[in-house]
Amino acid sequence: MKTVELLDVEKIRKDFPILKREVNGRPLVYLDNAATSQTPQQVINVIVDYYSNYNANIHRGVHSLSQEATDAYELARQKIQKHFNANKSHEIIFTSGTTHGINLIANGFSNRLKAGDEVIVSALEHHSNIVPWQMLCERSGANLKVIPMTQAGELDMEAYGKLLNTNTKLVFVNHISNALGTINPVAEIINMAHEVGAAVLVDGAQSVPHMNIDVQKLDADFYVCSAHKICGPTGIGMLYAKESWLLELPPYQGGGEMISEVTFEKTTYADLPHKFEAGTPNVCGGIAFGAAIDYMNAIGLEAISSYEQELLDYATQELNSLDGVVIYGPDKNKTSVISFNVENIHPYDVGTLLDKMGIAVRTGHHCAQPIMDFYQIPGTIRASFMFYNTKDEVDTFISGLKKAILMLS
């Protein structure tokens, strides 16, 4: 049986209201999923239901609305725990997104590092998994080391092994490159880091929509992601951290909810997970995040992954048939992202013309400027696919690209 038969894509597309709209008089072809995925009606309904029927602050009220909101919010935490196979629900910390989770951990290590310690990041990182560690090293005196990338868009694992030593305290790597689609060998990276006593944070922003993640199997110390990449709302995400680390690290912010007792002489902090969740949270966002997890699991991530691989293979084949197109990143072991350029044409110009045809792609450095510097290019055109995209949309994209090339040549 072909994998395409496992998904009723036309039925799935009906779940997404935005896919019915037109842009510049053309049916929308949305291929910017690596930036944000679209939201199904099932998740939209949960958001409307919250604000219509039980909008209230949580954990504090004895009245019914507060209790209903609290129960729904904590149920979402349990759904996320189960989905990522965290050992305990309080190992799931709600955040505003991936960047928030990374900064929370960077702040927690501020007083744990000293001059001479080493922190390792990879050359494939998004800026949000580079800048916080640069800031941490500036504060602590630790040294930042970089795992180099190869011309194929993969990490040089031999070089990584040589970087590791007893001074290595932290390693940070994305599971999948947002700019190239490279799937990094994170299990191997984690195991090698643990052998020298280093902790590892994995940026899972790009991996969670496309594959099943088991944080215990990976043995990740920290794993972060955003709901808006996995059919949920913006402004909500999660940090998974092993309980031992959460007990050891200090709170990121001070305020309400994260305290046990407050006097002017001393404050004691709340138990996990509330120690790291200061202030009124994005209650609706957390509940909708849980609904998005339900939606993805109802379809099945294995079926999603197989179908998206077909889309990737088909789009890659079609792009390779065009003269002057250069694709960046690995040929294999990648997810549904194609980052490419057309010789002698600026990517921004191509993206602008595609938009006129109703085709949404991303252009620029994708918050991964070191990758662009490595290839000595100003940026790329990035087409990124989700399970609600179709081969017909790929055909429309290729046809539009041919027109853009003809106009700009």
**Domain shared by 164 and 69, yes or no:** yes
* Strand pairing report for 222-226 and 237-241: antiparallel
Calculate ∠ Cα 106-213-170, nearest 5°.
25
- Rounded CA separation 36/231 (Å): 8
Phi, psi values for residue 110, rounded to 5°: -55, -40
**Domain shared by 324 and 224, yes or no:** no
Gyration radius (Cα) of the chain, Å: 22
Calculate ∠ Cα 159-163-167, nearest 5°.
170
User: Helices marked H in 330-378 — which ranges?
Assistant: 347-356, 369-375
Q: Where in the sequence is the domain holding 216, given as residue range(s)?
A: 45-298
User: What pLDDT does 111 receive?
Assistant: 87
- Rounded CA separation 362/366 (Å): 8
Output the six-digit token pair for 256: 């309400």
Residue 78: closest CA among 91, 66, 59, 60: 91
Q: Are 105 and 222 in contact (CB under 8 A)?
A: yes
Domain end position, chosen among 249, 267, 298: 298
**Domain shared by 169 and 276, yes or no:** yes
Which DSSP state fits 409?
-
In tens digits, what is the pLDDT along the chain, a chain of 409 residues? Answer: 344 447 999 999 999 999 999 999 999 999 999 999 999 999 999 999 999 999 999 987 789 999 999 999 999 999 999 999 999 999 999 999 999 999 999 999 988 999 999 999 999 998 888 898 899 899 999 999 999 999 999 999 999 999 999 999 999 999 999 999 999 999 999 999 999 999 999 999 999 999 999 999 999 999 999 999 999 999 999 999 999 999 999 887 766 666 666 667 666 666 778 888 878 899 999 999 999 999 999 999 999 999 999 999 999 999 999 999 999 999 899 999 999 999 999 999 999 999 999 999 999 889 889 999 999 999 999 999 999 999 999 999 999 999 999 999 8
**Domain shared by 216 and 364, yes or no:** no
**Domain shared by 26 and 81, yes or no:** no
Q: Are 148 and 123 in contact (CB under 8 A)?
A: yes
Q: Are 185 and 124 in contact (CB under 8 A)?
A: no
Q: Which candidate in 137, 225, 231, 367 is catalytic?
A: 367
Name the burial class of residue 120, with classes exposed (0-12), middle (13-18) and buried (19+) by CB atoms within 10 angstroms of its CB. Answer: buried
Helix (H) or strand (E) holding 185: none
Q: How many helices (H) and strands (E) does the chain have?
A: 14, 17
- Rounded CA separation 409/180 (Å): 25
Helix (H) or strand (E) holding 316: helix 301-320
**Domain shared by 275 and 402, yes or no:** no
Domain end position, chosen among 298, 327, 348: 298
User: What pLDDT does 257 receive?
Assistant: 66
Helix (H) or strand (E) holding 144: strand 143-147
User: What pLDDT does 276 receive?
Assistant: 84
Output the six-digit token pair for 354: 């595609």
**Domain shared by 250 and 136, yes or no:** yes
Domain end position, chosen among 298, 323, 342: 298
Active site residue 231: no
Helix (H) or strand (E) holding 94: strand 92-95
- Per the listing, tokens 């910017």 go with 32
**Domain shared by 331 and 389, yes or no:** yes
**Domain shared by 344 and 311, yes or no:** yes
**Domain shared by 306 and 370, yes or no:** yes
- Rounded CA separation 338/275 (Å): 40
CATH number, domain with residue 267: 3.40.640.10
User: What pLDDT does 267 receive?
Assistant: 67
**Domain shared by 153 and 81, yes or no:** yes
Instruction: Provide the CB-side half-sphere exposure for 47 (13 A, CA).
Output: 16
Query: Is the omega angle on the peptide bond into residue 209 within 30 degrees of 0, that is, cis?
Result: no
Q: Are 42 and 287 in contact (CB under 8 A)?
A: no
Q: Are 16 and 38 in contact (CB under 8 A)?
A: yes
Q: Which residues contact 206 (CB under 8 A, 6 or more apart)?
A: 34, 174, 175, 176, 177, 178, 181, 229, 335, 337
CATH number, domain with residue 335: 3.90.1150.10
Q: Are 246 and 92 in contact (CB under 8 A)?
A: no
When divided into structural domains, the chain yields a total of 2
User: What pLDDT does 62 receive?
Assistant: 86
Strand order in the sheet with 92-95: 92-95, 237-241, 222-226, 199-203, 168-174, 118-122, 143-147
**Domain shared by 133 and 238, yes or no:** yes
